[in-house]
Structure 1
Amino acid sequence: MKKLIIAASLLLGGFFAQAQVKGAKHVILIGMDGFGAYCFPKVDNPHMKQMMKEGAWTLQARSVLPSSSAVNWASMVMGAGPEVHGYTEWNSKQPELPSRELDRYGLFPSIYTLLREQKPKAEIGVIYSWDGIGYLFPKAAINKELACHDNDSLATAAAVEYIKTKKPDFLFVHLDEPDGVGHNIGHNIQPYFDQVHKNDVLLGKMLQAVKDAGMWDDTIILLTADHGGIKTGHGGKTMEEMQIPWIIRGPGIQQNKEIKSSVVTYDTAATIAWIFGLKTPQVWTGRPVKEAFK
Protein backbone atom coordinates (compact mmCIF):
# COMPACT_ATOMS: atom_id res chain seq x y z
CA MET A 1 0.00 0.00 0.00
CA LYS A 2 2.83 2.42 0.88
CA LYS A 3 4.48 1.77 -2.48
CA LEU A 4 1.18 2.46 -4.21
CA ILE A 5 0.76 5.76 -2.34
CA ILE A 6 4.34 6.81 -3.15
CA ALA A 7 3.87 5.94 -6.82
CA ALA A 8 0.63 7.93 -6.93
CA SER A 9 2.32 10.90 -5.26
CA LEU A 10 5.14 10.85 -7.79
CA LEU A 11 2.65 10.65 -10.63
CA LEU A 12 0.68 13.61 -9.29
CA GLY A 13 3.87 15.55 -8.67
CA GLY A 14 4.88 15.03 -12.27
CA PHE A 15 1.42 16.07 -13.44
CA PHE A 16 1.42 19.33 -11.53
CA ALA A 17 4.94 20.12 -12.77
CA GLN A 18 3.48 20.37 -16.28
CA ALA A 19 1.57 23.32 -17.67
CA GLN A 20 -1.92 23.60 -16.23
CA VAL A 21 -3.36 24.78 -19.55
CA LYS A 22 -3.07 22.26 -22.37
CA GLY A 23 -1.13 23.59 -25.33
CA ALA A 24 0.25 26.65 -23.53
CA LYS A 25 4.04 26.78 -23.73
CA HIS A 26 4.67 30.52 -23.59
CA VAL A 27 3.16 33.51 -21.79
CA ILE A 28 3.73 37.11 -22.87
CA LEU A 29 2.53 39.80 -20.46
CA ILE A 30 2.22 43.25 -22.02
CA GLY A 31 1.68 46.16 -19.65
CA MET A 32 0.80 49.68 -20.78
CA ASP A 33 1.40 52.40 -18.22
CA GLY A 34 -1.47 54.72 -17.31
CA PHE A 35 -3.92 52.90 -19.61
CA GLY A 36 -7.42 53.48 -18.22
CA ALA A 37 -10.17 51.07 -19.25
CA TYR A 38 -12.61 53.99 -19.57
CA CYS A 39 -11.12 54.94 -22.94
CA PHE A 40 -12.04 51.77 -24.86
CA PRO A 41 -15.27 53.04 -26.44
CA LYS A 42 -13.46 56.19 -27.59
CA VAL A 43 -10.26 54.93 -29.21
CA ASP A 44 -9.15 53.33 -32.44
CA ASN A 45 -7.44 50.18 -31.13
CA PRO A 46 -8.23 47.30 -33.52
CA HIS A 47 -5.54 44.92 -32.28
CA MET A 48 -6.74 45.20 -28.69
CA LYS A 49 -10.34 44.68 -29.73
CA GLN A 50 -9.36 41.72 -31.88
CA MET A 51 -7.68 40.21 -28.82
CA MET A 52 -10.98 40.64 -26.99
CA LYS A 53 -12.85 38.80 -29.75
CA GLU A 54 -10.29 36.00 -29.74
CA GLY A 55 -10.08 35.77 -25.97
CA ALA A 56 -11.51 36.72 -22.60
CA TRP A 57 -11.57 40.22 -21.15
CA THR A 58 -12.83 42.66 -18.59
CA LEU A 59 -12.71 46.44 -18.54
CA GLN A 60 -13.48 46.41 -14.84
CA ALA A 61 -10.26 44.96 -13.47
CA ARG A 62 -8.98 47.06 -10.60
CA SER A 63 -5.64 48.37 -9.48
CA VAL A 64 -4.55 48.18 -5.87
CA LEU A 65 -4.37 51.36 -3.82
CA PRO A 66 -2.70 53.72 -4.25
CA SER A 67 -3.45 53.55 -7.98
CA SER A 68 0.06 54.53 -9.04
CA SER A 69 2.92 52.91 -10.90
CA ALA A 70 5.46 50.97 -8.83
CA VAL A 71 2.80 49.87 -6.35
CA ASN A 72 0.77 48.24 -9.09
CA TRP A 73 3.58 46.91 -11.28
CA ALA A 74 4.91 45.20 -8.17
CA SER A 75 1.49 43.79 -7.30
CA MET A 76 1.02 42.54 -10.87
CA VAL A 77 4.07 40.26 -10.75
CA MET A 78 4.20 39.62 -7.00
CA GLY A 79 0.69 38.25 -6.57
CA ALA A 80 -0.16 40.44 -3.56
CA GLY A 81 -0.88 44.01 -2.55
CA PRO A 82 1.33 46.67 -0.94
CA GLU A 83 0.24 45.60 2.54
CA VAL A 84 2.37 42.49 2.09
CA HIS A 85 4.99 43.20 -0.59
CA GLY A 86 5.71 46.62 0.92
CA TYR A 87 6.07 48.81 -2.20
CA THR A 88 3.79 51.76 -1.46
CA GLU A 89 4.90 54.74 -3.58
CA TRP A 90 4.60 55.51 -7.30
CA ASN A 91 8.38 55.26 -7.70
CA SER A 92 9.31 52.78 -4.96
CA LYS A 93 12.81 51.41 -5.44
CA GLN A 94 12.63 49.27 -2.35
CA PRO A 95 9.81 48.34 0.02
CA GLU A 96 8.81 51.15 2.38
CA LEU A 97 7.23 48.47 4.56
CA PRO A 98 9.10 45.24 5.36
CA SER A 99 8.09 42.58 2.85
CA ARG A 100 6.14 39.87 4.64
CA GLU A 101 8.36 37.22 3.03
CA LEU A 102 11.58 37.22 1.03
CA ASP A 103 12.68 34.91 -1.75
CA ARG A 104 16.18 33.58 -2.43
CA TYR A 105 17.03 36.87 -4.15
CA GLY A 106 16.06 39.02 -1.17
CA LEU A 107 12.82 40.34 -2.73
CA PHE A 108 9.18 39.54 -2.21
CA PRO A 109 8.39 36.31 -4.14
CA SER A 110 7.40 37.07 -7.73
CA ILE A 111 6.34 35.12 -10.79
CA TYR A 112 9.97 35.31 -11.94
CA THR A 113 11.19 33.53 -8.81
CA LEU A 114 8.52 30.85 -9.04
CA LEU A 115 9.42 30.14 -12.66
CA ARG A 116 13.17 30.05 -12.03
CA GLU A 117 12.83 27.73 -9.04
CA GLN A 118 10.20 25.37 -10.44
CA LYS A 119 11.21 25.46 -14.12
CA PRO A 120 14.96 26.14 -13.92
CA LYS A 121 15.53 25.96 -17.68
CA ALA A 122 12.84 28.54 -18.50
CA GLU A 123 13.78 31.43 -20.77
CA ILE A 124 12.58 34.57 -18.96
CA GLY A 125 12.77 38.14 -20.19
CA VAL A 126 11.85 41.63 -18.99
CA ILE A 127 11.90 44.53 -21.46
CA TYR A 128 10.73 47.86 -20.08
CA SER A 129 10.45 51.54 -20.92
CA TRP A 130 10.13 53.03 -17.44
CA ASP A 131 13.36 52.61 -15.50
CA GLY A 132 11.38 52.11 -12.27
CA ILE A 133 10.46 48.59 -13.40
CA GLY A 134 14.10 47.62 -12.89
CA TYR A 135 13.70 47.68 -9.12
CA LEU A 136 10.72 45.34 -9.08
CA PHE A 137 12.16 42.00 -10.18
CA PRO A 138 15.13 39.78 -9.27
CA LYS A 139 17.68 40.34 -12.02
CA ALA A 140 19.53 37.15 -11.15
CA ALA A 141 16.43 35.15 -12.12
CA ILE A 142 16.18 36.68 -15.61
CA ASN A 143 17.82 35.60 -18.86
CA LYS A 144 17.11 38.85 -20.71
CA GLU A 145 16.77 42.33 -19.23
CA LEU A 146 16.62 45.54 -21.23
CA ALA A 147 15.79 49.03 -19.97
CA CYS A 148 14.66 51.27 -22.83
CA HIS A 149 14.51 54.61 -20.98
CA ASP A 150 11.03 55.84 -21.97
CA ASN A 151 11.38 54.63 -25.57
CA ASP A 152 8.38 52.41 -26.33
CA SER A 153 9.41 51.92 -29.96
CA LEU A 154 12.78 50.58 -28.82
CA ALA A 155 11.11 48.33 -26.26
CA THR A 156 8.78 46.97 -28.93
CA ALA A 157 11.59 46.35 -31.40
CA ALA A 158 13.60 44.58 -28.70
CA ALA A 159 10.61 42.46 -27.74
CA VAL A 160 10.03 41.51 -31.39
CA GLU A 161 13.66 40.44 -31.77
CA TYR A 162 13.67 38.51 -28.50
CA ILE A 163 10.45 36.69 -29.34
CA LYS A 164 11.78 35.64 -32.74
CA THR A 165 15.24 34.59 -31.60
CA LYS A 166 14.68 33.10 -28.14
CA LYS A 167 10.99 32.13 -28.07
CA PRO A 168 10.82 32.96 -24.34
CA ASP A 169 8.76 30.88 -21.95
CA PHE A 170 7.77 34.08 -20.15
CA LEU A 171 8.25 37.67 -21.28
CA PHE A 172 7.08 40.87 -19.62
CA VAL A 173 7.02 43.93 -21.89
CA HIS A 174 6.36 47.31 -20.28
CA LEU A 175 5.40 50.35 -22.37
CA ASP A 176 5.58 53.79 -20.73
CA GLU A 177 2.68 55.24 -22.71
CA PRO A 178 -0.05 56.39 -22.59
CA ASP A 179 1.05 57.46 -19.10
CA GLY A 180 3.33 60.22 -20.39
CA VAL A 181 0.57 61.85 -22.41
CA GLY A 182 -1.83 61.46 -19.49
CA HIS A 183 0.51 63.32 -17.13
CA ASN A 184 1.78 65.96 -19.54
CA ILE A 185 -1.39 66.73 -21.52
CA GLY A 186 -4.27 64.95 -19.83
CA HIS A 187 -6.45 61.86 -19.67
CA ASN A 188 -9.75 61.38 -21.47
CA ILE A 189 -8.96 63.84 -24.24
CA GLN A 190 -8.09 63.37 -27.92
CA PRO A 191 -4.26 63.39 -27.56
CA TYR A 192 -4.59 60.57 -25.02
CA PHE A 193 -6.83 58.59 -27.37
CA ASP A 194 -4.34 59.18 -30.20
CA GLN A 195 -1.56 57.79 -28.02
CA VAL A 196 -3.57 54.67 -27.22
CA HIS A 197 -3.90 54.16 -30.97
CA LYS A 198 -0.09 54.36 -31.25
CA ASN A 199 0.17 51.79 -28.46
CA ASP A 200 -2.17 49.57 -30.43
CA VAL A 201 0.14 49.75 -33.43
CA LEU A 202 3.06 48.65 -31.24
CA LEU A 203 0.93 45.83 -29.84
CA GLY A 204 0.24 44.71 -33.40
CA LYS A 205 3.98 44.43 -34.07
CA MET A 206 4.44 42.17 -31.05
CA LEU A 207 1.47 40.02 -32.00
CA GLN A 208 2.91 39.65 -35.50
CA ALA A 209 6.27 38.65 -34.01
CA VAL A 210 4.58 35.83 -32.12
CA LYS A 211 3.08 34.62 -35.40
CA ASP A 212 6.37 34.98 -37.27
CA ALA A 213 8.14 32.97 -34.57
CA GLY A 214 5.69 30.10 -35.05
CA MET A 215 4.41 30.54 -31.48
CA TRP A 216 0.88 31.77 -32.09
CA ASP A 217 -0.89 28.50 -31.35
CA ASP A 218 0.94 27.80 -28.08
CA THR A 219 1.32 31.30 -26.62
CA ILE A 220 -0.98 33.03 -24.16
CA ILE A 221 -0.83 36.82 -24.43
CA LEU A 222 -2.12 38.98 -21.58
CA LEU A 223 -2.58 42.73 -21.97
CA THR A 224 -3.22 44.94 -18.95
CA ALA A 225 -2.14 48.16 -17.19
CA ASP A 226 -1.10 49.51 -13.81
CA HIS A 227 -3.70 52.30 -13.46
CA GLY A 228 -5.78 54.84 -15.36
CA GLY A 229 -6.06 58.51 -14.54
CA ILE A 230 -7.99 61.77 -14.46
CA LYS A 231 -6.80 65.19 -15.63
CA THR A 232 -2.98 64.94 -15.40
CA GLY A 233 -2.62 62.82 -12.29
CA HIS A 234 -3.13 59.37 -10.85
CA GLY A 235 -3.15 57.74 -7.46
CA GLY A 236 -6.72 58.55 -6.53
CA LYS A 237 -9.82 56.52 -5.81
CA THR A 238 -12.03 57.24 -8.81
CA MET A 239 -13.00 54.44 -11.18
CA GLU A 240 -11.23 56.27 -14.03
CA GLU A 241 -8.01 55.92 -12.05
CA MET A 242 -8.59 52.40 -10.74
CA GLN A 243 -10.22 50.43 -13.55
CA ILE A 244 -7.83 48.85 -16.04
CA PRO A 245 -8.22 46.55 -19.04
CA TRP A 246 -7.41 42.86 -18.60
CA ILE A 247 -7.39 40.95 -21.90
CA ILE A 248 -6.12 37.41 -22.43
CA ARG A 249 -6.02 35.23 -25.53
CA GLY A 250 -4.38 31.96 -26.56
CA PRO A 251 -4.72 28.21 -26.15
CA GLY A 252 -7.27 27.17 -23.54
CA ILE A 253 -8.85 30.64 -23.38
CA GLN A 254 -12.54 31.20 -24.08
CA GLN A 255 -13.31 33.37 -27.08
CA ASN A 256 -15.27 36.63 -27.03
CA LYS A 257 -15.87 36.08 -23.31
CA GLU A 258 -16.52 39.00 -20.99
CA ILE A 259 -15.23 38.11 -17.54
CA LYS A 260 -17.83 38.88 -14.88
CA SER A 261 -15.87 37.84 -11.79
CA SER A 262 -13.70 40.24 -9.84
CA VAL A 263 -10.17 40.76 -11.19
CA VAL A 264 -7.52 42.68 -9.25
CA THR A 265 -4.08 43.32 -10.68
CA TYR A 266 -2.39 40.82 -8.34
CA ASP A 267 -4.55 38.11 -9.93
CA THR A 268 -2.34 38.48 -13.00
CA ALA A 269 0.63 36.78 -11.33
CA ALA A 270 -1.64 34.07 -9.92
CA THR A 271 -3.12 33.42 -13.37
CA ILE A 272 0.31 33.14 -15.00
CA ALA A 273 1.47 30.77 -12.25
CA TRP A 274 -1.68 28.67 -12.76
CA ILE A 275 -1.08 28.51 -16.52
CA PHE A 276 2.42 27.15 -15.93
CA GLY A 277 1.29 24.78 -13.19
CA LEU A 278 3.45 26.49 -10.55
CA LYS A 279 2.98 26.18 -6.81
CA THR A 280 2.32 29.63 -5.33
CA PRO A 281 3.46 30.84 -1.90
CA GLN A 282 1.00 31.20 0.97
CA VAL A 283 1.80 34.91 1.17
CA TRP A 284 0.24 35.56 -2.24
CA THR A 285 -3.34 36.81 -2.18
CA GLY A 286 -3.97 36.69 -5.93
CA ARG A 287 -6.24 34.05 -7.48
CA PRO A 288 -6.15 32.71 -11.05
CA VAL A 289 -8.88 34.13 -13.26
CA LYS A 290 -10.26 30.70 -14.17
CA GLU A 291 -13.42 32.13 -15.72
CA ALA A 292 -11.28 33.11 -18.71
CA PHE A 293 -10.43 29.51 -19.50
CA LYS A 294 -12.37 26.80 -21.29
Structure 2
Amino acid sequence: MDKSVSRVFVLGMDGAGNFLQRSEAVHIPRIIAEQGAITYRAQTEMPTISAQCWGSMLHGVTPDKHGYDNNRAAVERFSLDSPYPSFFKAARDEHPEWTFASFTCWEPINFGLVEEAIDIHKVVADDEELTIKACEYLREVPDVHIFYLALDGPDGGGHRHGYNTDEQLRSIENADKQIGRVLEVIRERGWLEDSLILFVTDHGGGGTDPFNHGSDHPLDRTVFWGAAGSIVNPHADIDGVTFKDTAAVVLAALGVKQPEAWDAHVPEQLFQTVPSS
Protein backbone atom coordinates (compact mmCIF):
# COMPACT_ATOMS: atom_id res chain seq x y z
CA MET A 1 0.00 0.00 0.00
CA ASP A 2 1.37 3.40 -0.97
CA LYS A 3 -0.87 5.61 1.15
CA SER A 4 -2.75 5.51 4.41
CA VAL A 5 -6.12 6.86 5.45
CA SER A 6 -7.07 9.46 8.04
CA ARG A 7 -9.49 7.24 9.97
CA VAL A 8 -10.84 3.71 10.24
CA PHE A 9 -14.40 2.69 11.10
CA VAL A 10 -14.97 -0.88 12.33
CA LEU A 11 -18.72 -1.46 12.05
CA GLY A 12 -19.76 -4.80 13.50
CA MET A 13 -22.74 -6.92 14.35
CA ASP A 14 -22.72 -9.87 16.73
CA GLY A 15 -23.68 -13.36 15.58
CA ALA A 16 -24.41 -12.65 11.91
CA GLY A 17 -22.12 -15.36 10.47
CA ASN A 18 -22.17 -15.23 6.70
CA PHE A 19 -25.95 -14.92 6.67
CA LEU A 20 -25.81 -11.33 5.41
CA GLN A 21 -25.73 -12.77 1.90
CA ARG A 22 -29.15 -14.38 2.41
CA SER A 23 -30.72 -11.22 3.81
CA GLU A 24 -32.19 -8.20 2.08
CA ALA A 25 -29.60 -5.90 3.61
CA VAL A 26 -29.07 -2.77 1.52
CA HIS A 27 -26.50 -0.46 3.07
CA ILE A 28 -23.44 -2.67 3.47
CA PRO A 29 -23.79 -4.21 -0.03
CA ARG A 30 -24.29 -0.75 -1.55
CA ILE A 31 -21.08 0.77 -0.22
CA ILE A 32 -19.14 -2.40 -1.01
CA ALA A 33 -20.39 -2.15 -4.60
CA GLU A 34 -19.28 1.50 -4.76
CA GLN A 35 -15.69 0.90 -3.62
CA GLY A 36 -15.00 -2.23 -1.68
CA ALA A 37 -14.53 -5.97 -1.37
CA ILE A 38 -16.36 -8.57 0.69
CA THR A 39 -16.08 -12.26 1.41
CA TYR A 40 -18.60 -14.67 2.87
CA ARG A 41 -15.91 -17.29 3.51
CA ALA A 42 -13.86 -15.59 6.24
CA GLN A 43 -13.11 -17.64 9.33
CA THR A 44 -13.53 -16.48 12.90
CA GLU A 45 -11.62 -17.82 15.88
CA MET A 46 -12.23 -20.85 18.08
CA PRO A 47 -14.21 -21.23 20.20
CA THR A 48 -16.89 -19.27 18.37
CA ILE A 49 -17.93 -17.26 21.42
CA SER A 50 -18.16 -13.48 21.70
CA ALA A 51 -15.35 -12.64 24.14
CA GLN A 52 -12.89 -14.97 22.49
CA CYS A 53 -13.73 -13.71 19.00
CA TRP A 54 -14.04 -9.97 19.67
CA GLY A 55 -10.91 -10.27 21.82
CA SER A 56 -9.00 -11.70 18.86
CA MET A 57 -10.31 -8.99 16.53
CA LEU A 58 -9.24 -6.25 18.94
CA HIS A 59 -5.91 -7.74 20.05
CA GLY A 60 -4.73 -9.46 16.87
CA VAL A 61 -4.05 -12.87 18.42
CA THR A 62 -5.80 -16.20 18.90
CA PRO A 63 -8.00 -16.67 22.01
CA ASP A 64 -5.51 -18.98 23.70
CA LYS A 65 -3.07 -16.06 23.76
CA HIS A 66 -5.30 -13.18 24.85
CA GLY A 67 -6.92 -15.51 27.39
CA TYR A 68 -10.34 -13.88 27.61
CA ASP A 69 -13.68 -15.68 27.75
CA ASN A 70 -17.16 -14.32 28.46
CA ASN A 71 -16.84 -14.76 32.23
CA ARG A 72 -13.41 -13.21 32.52
CA ALA A 73 -14.26 -10.32 30.21
CA ALA A 74 -17.33 -9.55 32.30
CA VAL A 75 -15.46 -9.22 35.60
CA GLU A 76 -11.92 -8.14 34.75
CA ARG A 77 -10.25 -5.24 32.99
CA PHE A 78 -7.80 -6.14 30.25
CA SER A 79 -4.27 -6.30 31.64
CA LEU A 80 -2.43 -3.10 30.78
CA ASP A 81 0.86 -5.01 30.64
CA SER A 82 -0.45 -7.58 28.18
CA PRO A 83 2.00 -8.36 25.35
CA TYR A 84 -1.01 -8.29 23.04
CA PRO A 85 -2.33 -4.71 22.99
CA SER A 86 -5.55 -3.87 21.22
CA PHE A 87 -5.37 -1.87 18.01
CA PHE A 88 -6.60 1.07 20.10
CA LYS A 89 -3.63 0.83 22.46
CA ALA A 90 -1.10 0.20 19.70
CA ALA A 91 -2.32 3.31 17.88
CA ARG A 92 -2.43 5.34 21.11
CA ASP A 93 1.19 4.46 21.93
CA GLU A 94 2.26 5.90 18.58
CA HIS A 95 -0.26 8.77 18.38
CA PRO A 96 -1.24 10.15 21.80
CA GLU A 97 -3.07 13.02 20.08
CA TRP A 98 -5.54 10.85 18.14
CA THR A 99 -9.27 10.50 18.93
CA PHE A 100 -10.82 7.06 19.52
CA ALA A 101 -14.38 5.91 20.20
CA SER A 102 -15.96 2.56 21.00
CA PHE A 103 -19.75 2.06 20.97
CA THR A 104 -20.92 -1.40 22.06
CA CYS A 105 -24.11 -3.07 23.17
CA TRP A 106 -22.32 -5.79 25.15
CA GLU A 107 -20.62 -4.07 28.09
CA PRO A 108 -17.70 -6.54 28.51
CA ILE A 109 -16.27 -5.39 25.19
CA ASN A 110 -15.85 -1.80 26.33
CA PHE A 111 -15.05 -2.58 29.96
CA GLY A 112 -13.13 -5.84 29.66
CA LEU A 113 -11.65 -6.27 26.21
CA VAL A 114 -10.80 -2.62 25.45
CA GLU A 115 -8.11 -1.32 27.79
CA GLU A 116 -8.77 1.30 30.40
CA ALA A 117 -6.80 4.54 30.82
CA ILE A 118 -5.92 5.10 27.15
CA ASP A 119 -8.49 7.86 26.55
CA ILE A 120 -11.22 6.21 24.49
CA HIS A 121 -14.74 7.62 24.33
CA LYS A 122 -16.86 4.62 25.37
CA VAL A 123 -20.63 4.19 25.18
CA VAL A 124 -22.71 1.13 26.13
CA ALA A 125 -26.42 1.01 25.24
CA ASP A 126 -29.00 -1.09 23.44
CA ASP A 127 -28.68 -1.13 19.66
CA GLU A 128 -31.16 1.62 18.85
CA GLU A 129 -29.88 4.04 21.50
CA LEU A 130 -26.33 3.11 20.56
CA THR A 131 -27.01 4.03 16.94
CA ILE A 132 -28.51 7.37 17.94
CA LYS A 133 -25.59 8.18 20.23
CA ALA A 134 -23.05 7.07 17.63
CA CYS A 135 -24.58 9.35 15.01
CA GLU A 136 -24.69 12.24 17.45
CA TYR A 137 -21.04 11.70 18.37
CA LEU A 138 -19.90 11.54 14.75
CA ARG A 139 -21.77 14.72 13.89
CA GLU A 140 -20.23 16.62 16.80
CA VAL A 141 -16.64 15.36 17.12
CA PRO A 142 -14.07 17.44 15.20
CA ASP A 143 -12.55 14.22 13.86
CA VAL A 144 -12.02 10.61 14.90
CA HIS A 145 -9.21 8.24 13.96
CA ILE A 146 -10.57 4.86 15.07
CA PHE A 147 -14.30 4.31 15.56
CA TYR A 148 -15.72 0.93 16.60
CA LEU A 149 -19.41 -0.03 16.70
CA ALA A 150 -20.72 -3.46 17.79
CA LEU A 151 -24.47 -4.12 17.50
CA ASP A 152 -26.03 -7.12 19.25
CA GLY A 153 -29.37 -7.63 17.46
CA PRO A 154 -28.42 -10.45 15.07
CA ASP A 155 -27.04 -12.61 17.89
CA GLY A 156 -30.13 -11.98 19.98
CA GLY A 157 -32.27 -12.94 16.99
CA GLY A 158 -30.32 -16.15 16.56
CA HIS A 159 -30.64 -17.12 20.21
CA ARG A 160 -34.38 -16.39 20.21
CA HIS A 161 -35.46 -17.69 16.80
CA GLY A 162 -32.58 -19.83 15.55
CA TYR A 163 -29.56 -18.87 13.46
CA ASN A 164 -29.83 -18.56 9.68
CA THR A 165 -33.63 -18.40 9.94
CA ASP A 166 -35.96 -15.87 8.36
CA GLU A 167 -36.46 -14.26 11.75
CA GLN A 168 -32.74 -13.85 12.30
CA LEU A 169 -32.30 -12.45 8.79
CA ARG A 170 -34.76 -9.68 9.72
CA SER A 171 -32.52 -8.79 12.70
CA ILE A 172 -29.51 -8.66 10.38
CA GLU A 173 -31.42 -6.36 8.05
CA ASN A 174 -32.28 -4.11 10.99
CA ALA A 175 -28.62 -3.95 12.02
CA ASP A 176 -27.76 -3.10 8.42
CA LYS A 177 -30.23 -0.19 8.58
CA GLN A 178 -28.61 1.05 11.79
CA ILE A 179 -25.17 0.81 10.20
CA GLY A 180 -26.64 2.67 7.22
CA ARG A 181 -27.49 5.58 9.49
CA VAL A 182 -23.89 5.70 10.69
CA LEU A 183 -22.65 5.55 7.09
CA GLU A 184 -24.87 8.49 6.19
CA VAL A 185 -23.22 10.63 8.87
CA ILE A 186 -19.80 9.58 7.59
CA ARG A 187 -20.90 10.77 4.14
CA GLU A 188 -22.25 14.02 5.59
CA ARG A 189 -18.90 14.73 7.25
CA GLY A 190 -17.07 14.24 3.93
CA TRP A 191 -15.02 11.40 5.40
CA LEU A 192 -15.64 8.66 2.84
CA GLU A 193 -12.73 9.47 0.52
CA ASP A 194 -10.00 9.32 3.16
CA SER A 195 -11.38 6.61 5.45
CA LEU A 196 -11.37 2.82 5.56
CA ILE A 197 -14.65 1.21 6.63
CA LEU A 198 -14.61 -2.41 7.80
CA PHE A 199 -17.74 -4.54 8.16
CA VAL A 200 -17.37 -7.48 10.53
CA THR A 201 -19.18 -10.05 12.65
CA ASP A 202 -17.72 -12.20 15.40
CA HIS A 203 -19.34 -15.59 14.72
CA GLY A 204 -22.36 -17.34 13.26
CA GLY A 205 -24.47 -20.03 14.87
CA GLY A 206 -26.82 -22.93 14.39
CA GLY A 207 -24.15 -25.46 13.52
CA THR A 208 -24.64 -28.03 16.27
CA ASP A 209 -27.43 -26.23 18.14
CA PRO A 210 -30.02 -24.24 16.14
CA PHE A 211 -30.16 -21.59 18.88
CA ASN A 212 -26.51 -21.36 19.89
CA HIS A 213 -22.87 -21.21 18.78
CA GLY A 214 -19.42 -22.16 20.04
CA SER A 215 -18.53 -25.11 17.81
CA ASP A 216 -16.21 -25.41 14.81
CA HIS A 217 -19.15 -26.18 12.50
CA PRO A 218 -19.03 -24.01 9.34
CA LEU A 219 -22.31 -22.31 10.29
CA ASP A 220 -20.70 -21.17 13.54
CA ARG A 221 -17.24 -20.36 12.20
CA THR A 222 -17.76 -18.92 8.70
CA VAL A 223 -18.42 -15.16 8.67
CA PHE A 224 -18.65 -12.23 6.30
CA TRP A 225 -15.84 -9.67 6.24
CA GLY A 226 -15.88 -6.53 4.11
CA ALA A 227 -13.87 -3.38 3.50
CA ALA A 228 -14.75 -0.18 1.70
CA GLY A 229 -12.76 2.93 0.83
CA SER A 230 -10.52 4.47 -1.78
CA ILE A 231 -7.55 2.33 -0.68
CA VAL A 232 -9.46 -0.94 -1.12
CA ASN A 233 -8.82 -3.11 -4.16
CA PRO A 234 -12.32 -4.04 -5.37
CA HIS A 235 -10.93 -7.13 -7.11
CA ALA A 236 -9.14 -8.47 -4.05
CA ASP A 237 -9.46 -12.15 -3.21
CA ILE A 238 -9.92 -11.97 0.55
CA ASP A 239 -11.53 -15.36 1.17
CA GLY A 240 -8.56 -16.32 3.37
CA VAL A 241 -9.03 -13.49 5.87
CA THR A 242 -9.56 -14.40 9.53
CA PHE A 243 -11.33 -12.33 12.15
CA LYS A 244 -8.13 -11.53 14.04
CA ASP A 245 -6.65 -10.08 10.81
CA THR A 246 -8.99 -7.11 11.31
CA ALA A 247 -6.54 -5.69 13.86
CA ALA A 248 -3.67 -5.75 11.37
CA VAL A 249 -5.81 -4.09 8.70
CA VAL A 250 -6.79 -1.25 11.07
CA LEU A 251 -3.19 -0.40 11.89
CA ALA A 252 -1.84 -0.85 8.36
CA ALA A 253 -4.48 1.48 6.94
CA LEU A 254 -3.46 4.15 9.46
CA GLY A 255 0.27 3.64 8.93
CA VAL A 256 0.80 2.39 12.49
CA LYS A 257 3.39 -0.30 13.21
CA GLN A 258 1.89 -3.67 14.12
CA PRO A 259 2.95 -5.22 17.46
CA GLU A 260 5.45 -8.03 16.87
CA ALA A 261 3.53 -10.41 19.15
CA TRP A 262 0.39 -10.33 17.01
CA ASP A 263 -0.74 -13.25 14.82
CA ALA A 264 -2.78 -10.99 12.54
CA HIS A 265 -1.90 -10.36 8.88
CA VAL A 266 -3.15 -7.96 6.23
CA PRO A 267 -4.71 -9.83 3.27
CA GLU A 268 -2.18 -9.57 0.47
CA GLN A 269 -4.52 -8.12 -2.17
CA LEU A 270 -6.72 -5.94 0.04
CA PHE A 271 -5.22 -2.52 -0.61
CA GLN A 272 -4.82 -0.64 -3.87
CA THR A 273 -1.28 0.03 -5.05
CA VAL A 274 -0.21 3.00 -7.08
CA PRO A 275 2.00 2.13 -10.08
CA SER A 276 5.49 3.60 -9.78
CA SER A 277 6.29 6.35 -12.24
Q: Report the CA distance between 1:260 and its aligned residue.
A: 4.0
1:187-206 matches, cutoff 5 A: 187-206=163-182
Query: What residue in structure 2 maps to residue 244 of structure 1?
Result: 223
Q: Closer, same or farther in 2 for the Cα pair 1:115/1:59, shift >3 Å?
A: same
Kept in 2, the 8 Å contact 1:272–1:288? The answer is no
Q: Structure 1 stretches (4+) deviating beyond 6 angstroms?
A: none
Matched, 1:24 2:1: no
Query: What residue in structure 2 maps to residue 121 of structure 1?
Result: 97
Q: Report the CA distance between 1:29 and its aligned residue.
A: 0.3
Q: Report the CA distance between 1:109 and its aligned residue.
A: 0.9
Query: What residue in structure 2 maps to residue 144 of structure 1?
Result: 121
Number of positions where the alignment pairs a residue of Structure 1 with one of Structure 2: 265
C-alpha distance in 2, partners of 1:210/1:70? 28
Any idea what the Cα deviations from partners look like across 1:144-171, whole Å, max 9, x if unmatched?
Answer: 11111xx111111111112121121101
Matched, 1:273 2:242: no
Q: Of the candidates 64, 84, 89, which is equivalent to residue 83 of structure 1?
A: 64
SS of aligned partner of 1:92: helix
Q: Report the CA distance between 1:216 and its aligned residue.
A: 1.6
Q: Report the CA distance between 1:289 and its aligned residue.
A: 2.0
Q: Closer, same or farther in 2 for the Cα pair 1:253/1:155, shift >3 Å?
A: same
SS of aligned partner of 2:101: strand
1:108-257 matches, cutoff 5 A: 108-133=84-109, 134-148=111-125, 151-166=126-141, 167-230=143-206, 231-255=210-234, 257=235
Kept in 1, the 8 Å contact 2:36–2:226? The answer is yes
Kept in 2, the 8 Å contact 1:69–1:91? The answer is no
Matched, 1:71 2:52: yes
Letter in 2 for 1:290: E
Letter in 1 for 2:31: M
Q: Report the CA distance between 1:251 and its aligned residue.
A: 2.1
SS of aligned partner of 2:269: helix
Query: What residue in structure 2 maps to residue 42 of structure 1?
Result: 22
Q: Report the CA distance between 1:83 and its aligned residue.
A: 1.9
SS of aligned partner of 1:227: coil
Kept in 2, the 8 Å contact 1:222–1:249? The answer is yes
Q: Closer, same or farther in 2 for the Cα pair 1:236/1:95, shift >3 Å?
A: farther
Structure 2 gap segments, 5+ residues each:
273-277
Kept in 2, the 8 Å contact 1:61–1:264? The answer is yes
Query: What residue in structure 2 maps to residue 92 of structure 1?
Result: 72
Query: What residue in structure 1 maps to residue 38 of structure 2?
Result: 57
C-alpha distance in 2, partners of 1:211/1:262? 30
Q: Closer, same or farther in 2 for the Cα pair 1:268/1:222, shift >3 Å?
A: same
C-alpha distance in 2, partners of 1:249/1:65? 26
C-alpha distance in 2, partners of 1:239/1:111? 27
C-alpha distance in 2, partners of 1:43/1:261? 20
Q: Report the CA distance between 1:82 and its aligned residue.
A: 1.3
RMSD (Å) for aligned C-alpha atoms: 2.0
Any idea what the Cα deviations from partners look like across 1:187-234, whole Å, max 9, x if unmatched?
Answer: 111111111111111011010010111212111110101100001000
Q: TM-score, normalised by structure 2?
A: 0.90
State the percentage of identical aligned residues. Answer: 27
SS of aligned partner of 1:248: strand
Kept in 2, the 8 Å contact 1:51–1:248? The answer is no
SS of aligned partner of 2:61: coil
C-alpha distance in 2, partners of 1:95/1:253? 38
SS of aligned partner of 1:171: strand
Kept in 1, the 8 Å contact 2:16–2:155? The answer is yes
SS of aligned partner of 2:193: helix
Kept in 1, the 8 Å contact 2:10–2:149? The answer is yes
Kept in 2, the 8 Å contact 1:27–1:221? The answer is yes
Letter in 2 for 1:43: S
Query: What residue in structure 1 maps to residue 275 of structure 2?
Result: none
C-alpha distance in 2, partners of 1:41/1:126? 26
C-alpha distance in 1, partners of 2:202/2:72? 14
